[in-house]
Amino acid sequence: MERPEIPLRQLHAFVVLAEELHFGRAAARLGIAQPPLSQQIRRLEDRVGHALFSREPGRVGLTPAGRELLPAAERALTGLADGLAAAREAGSGRAGRLRIGFAASLAPTVLPGLLRTFREGAPAVELDIREMTTTPQLAALRESTIDIGLLREPPAHDAELGFATVLTEPFVAVLPSGHPLAAQRTVRVEQLADCPFVLLPRAVGPSLYDRITGLCTAAGFTPRVAQHAVEWQTVCALVETGLGVSLAPESIRRIRLKGVAFRGIGPGTARTRVAVAWRRDDPNPLVPRLLAALGQGSQGGPGKPGGSANG
């Protein structure tokens, strides 16, 4: 059976009249004259096929058909009002859903403060947090399966994505606690030339991998990679077993393993870059809101998904 299409103004008029049970008062509430109100009610009754109100001198009442329609009409109007309110909240960046990818090493550093700041300003936003290494994050951004990425060493240029630096941090040497170099306060990279290395696979973060191997190349050697591990937690665990040494971002110190020593790299100022990434053409208003929470909104391009911020 085909369902009749009922204009919302007729439902609104019906509900107001059902509440007032008086054409004059209902028309005043609606801000219209009484004849147009009567016309809307009659058109609605024509669509229903039955009278919705009994009309007697000095008295208006709901018919059985009107009593049956009233709850549904109220739900329809309430649902519309709720939908409009939700749409306004989402459109203004105060509600909706934001999908964030993040590198695991940022969980104890950048991520908690960011989420806390963001949620204070937008408590109604649903956050979908996904742990991902750099290469999968870049792919997920391009495929629109995440909205924001927090990653290390982003590519220098990308036509689809924008990047903005969140912080930089120095590299440290990751050593078994019993390694002779662990007795030093700082380690020179060239001192690691004869050691086997445990590194992340280049595929999961090409730029970071190249930064680490580049430090070794600048020190006069090519690292001999004995083992790969996808997560820094695993890298540190393998170093603890004596499979090799590593070079890692300083925040990896937060991984507490008794058999692992972290030592600064010196002399030198080699640092790794942590960046936020987003799609340049993303219309989601929550994206610039999160960028603002990261302090990027005042930098011109990063404050808007369409802006520039590579480098």
For 195-225, what is each residue's pLDDT tens digit? 999 999 999 889 999 999 999 999 999 999 9
- Residues of the chain where predicted confidence (pLDDT) is lower than 50: 1, 296-311
Residue 304's pLDDT is 41
The verdict on 110 and 23 lying in the same domain is no
Question: What pLDDT does residue 1 have?
Answer: 43
User: Which CATH number do you get for residue 127?
Assistant: 3.40.190.10
Q: Is residue 73 part of a domain?
A: yes
- Whether residue 310 lies inside any domain: the answer is no
Distance CA 14, CA 300 (A): 51
Given 91, 118, 153, the domain boundary residue is: 91
Bridge partners of 175? 261
At residue 290, the pLDDT reads 87
Q: Is 267 found in the same domain as 172?
A: yes
Task: Point out the domain boundary residue: 74, 91, 108.
Answer: 91
Both 261 and 297 in one domain: the answer is no
Q: Residues 173, 268: one domain? A: yes
Is residue 156 domain-shared with residue 176, that is, in the same domain? no
Domain boundary, last residue among 29, 57, 91: 91
HSE-CB at 283 with a 13 A cutoff on CA atoms is 2
Element (H, E) at 17: helix 8-20
Same domain, 214 and 123: no
CA distances from 107 to 35, 39, 287 (A): 66, 63, 20
**50: CATH:** 1.10.10.10
- Burial pattern 222-237, b for ≥16 Cβ within 10 A else e, equals ebebebbbebbebbbb
With respect to residue 309, please indicate whether it lies within any of the assigned structural domains. no
Residue 286 lies in a domain: yes
Q: What is the per-residue pLDDT for 92?
A: 59
Domain encompassing residue 22: 8-91
Same-domain check for residues 103 and 181: no
Q: What's the whole-number average pLDDT of the chain?
A: 86
- Using a 10 angstrom Cβ sphere, with 0-12 exposed, 13-18 middle and 19 or more buried, the burial of residue 103 is buried
* Within-domain flag for 125: yes
Q: Note the pLDDT of residue 300.
A: 34
Residue 7: per-residue pLDDT: 80
State how many domains the chain has.
3
Does the pTM surpass 0.85? The reply is no
Residue 74 maps to a domain: yes
One domain, residues 134 and 188: no
The pLDDT of residue 147 is: 95
In a domain, 1, yes or no: no
What is the pLDDT at residue 97?
Answer: 85
Residues 154 and 69 in one domain: no
65 inside domain: yes
Q: Are residues 110 and 162 in the same domain?
A: yes
281 plus 162 within the same structural domain = yes
**Residue 131 sits in the same domain as residue 188:** no
